[in-house]
Each structure stands twice: as structure tokens, then as C-alpha cells.
Amino acid sequence: MPCWRVFPWKRGAADGAPFSARYIPPAGTQTGGRFDLGTPSVLYLAQSPAHALAELLQGHRGKAITSEHLVRSDPNLPGTYYPLSLVRAALPEEIEDRIADLANPSVLLTLDVRPDQLASHDREVTRAISRRMHAAAARYAGFRWWSALTGEWHVTVLFLDRADVASIDYTVPEPLDISHPAISEAARFLGISLTPA
């Protein structure tokens, strides 16, 4: 099952270094995600390019954006910006086979997880479920669940102490601009207006 990721890309960044496709914030520094564990780090992957972008751009819902919204600054180099870029991530079978599909009622029942709690907007609730799954089900490398944006999209969350990031096969990053079809699709979904620079 292909997955997608959007990240700020620096050409020439070493594999696994900041601004590379394989970079994940260090354990203990992730603070924004619904299923963050703190330690270990987790990796969020989206079901489609538009889904990956919508997750990133949802803070602009109902507003207008330009190409300036599709870059991120380097905190260590003031005035330096890197383009948001799209990669396809192919998970090896060894990881794929160990992802709990929480959209499957029988898996929810087995793991004693309630869908109303998983769908909660209270991050204390969703993070507690992630911690409980990580602690109780060592055979799982992560899980798959609905996006908070729509049940039509699914997020794959990988526990990085059980899923080797080095084994994920990423495509060459594709820098994004305001005319990219995935940007248009995400913008339509979020009610965002696209304004050429």
C-alpha cells in the first residue's frame, strides 16, 4: 500500500538529516500530532498526495494561500527557505504486515479500542490510545486509522522503535508549487483559495 509524505526538502541534505525525506524529529520533540508518543518518535504517512497536503495546510482552511505558504524556514539559517516537497513511501512487507488496521472492527475489538475515542479531537485521549497500543501490542509496528479530516482518508502511524525508517523506500522528492494537482485537490477540500504569486 503506497503512502505519501510532505516535508521541507533541502537538495543535497544527507539521508536522515534535517530537510531530507527520511528525517524524523528526535524522540521527545514531537508535540503536534494526534498520536505522538513523545518517546519513541512516530512517523505519520498519508493515503494520497492530496491527503498529505491537506493535513499540512488545514490551518489555512477558508483562506487564500500563495507559493509563499509552500516553503519552510531553516531555524539555523535565518532567511533560508526550503520548498515543501512530496515523496511516495513504499513500506517493506516486514512493516506492512505489522500495521494494525483500526478501520477493521474485528481489530478494534481484539485491541479493545473504541472508535469514538480514536476519532476524538482531544489529543490527550488519542495519545493515550497510541501509548496503550504501543505498550500492549509489541507485535505491531504501528496502526492505520481515519484522518481527522475525513473518514475517506487514512493515516498510517509508525512506531519508530519498531519500524526501521531506513527500510522505507522513498521516491525522489518533488518540490511543490501552487499549480500542482495535489495542491489543487487539497485546497478544494479545505476551501482554500490559491493565489498565484
Can you give the pTM of this predicted structure? 0.93
Q: How many other CB atoms are found less than 10 A from the CB of residue 155?
A: 23
The per-residue pLDDT for 156 is 97
The per-residue pLDDT for 80 is 95
DSSP SS3 for 190: helix
- Write the DSSP string, 49-117: HHHHHHHHHGGGTTSEE-GGGGEEE-TTSTT-EEEEEEEEEEPPHHHHTTEEETTSHHHHHHHT--HHH
pLDDT tens digit string along 86-124? Answer: 999 999 999 999 999 999 999 999 888 999 999 898 999
State what percent of residues in the chain have pLDDT above 70. Answer: 99
Cell of 122: 482531544
pLDDT tens digit string along 163-193? Answer: 998 999 999 999 999 999 999 999 999 999 9
The per-residue pLDDT for 197 is 65
- Asked if pLDDT for residue 29 goes beyond 70, the answer is yes
The per-residue pLDDT for 54 is 96
| Pairwise CA distance, residues 134 & 124, whole Å | 15
Peptide bond into 40 cis (omega under 30): yes
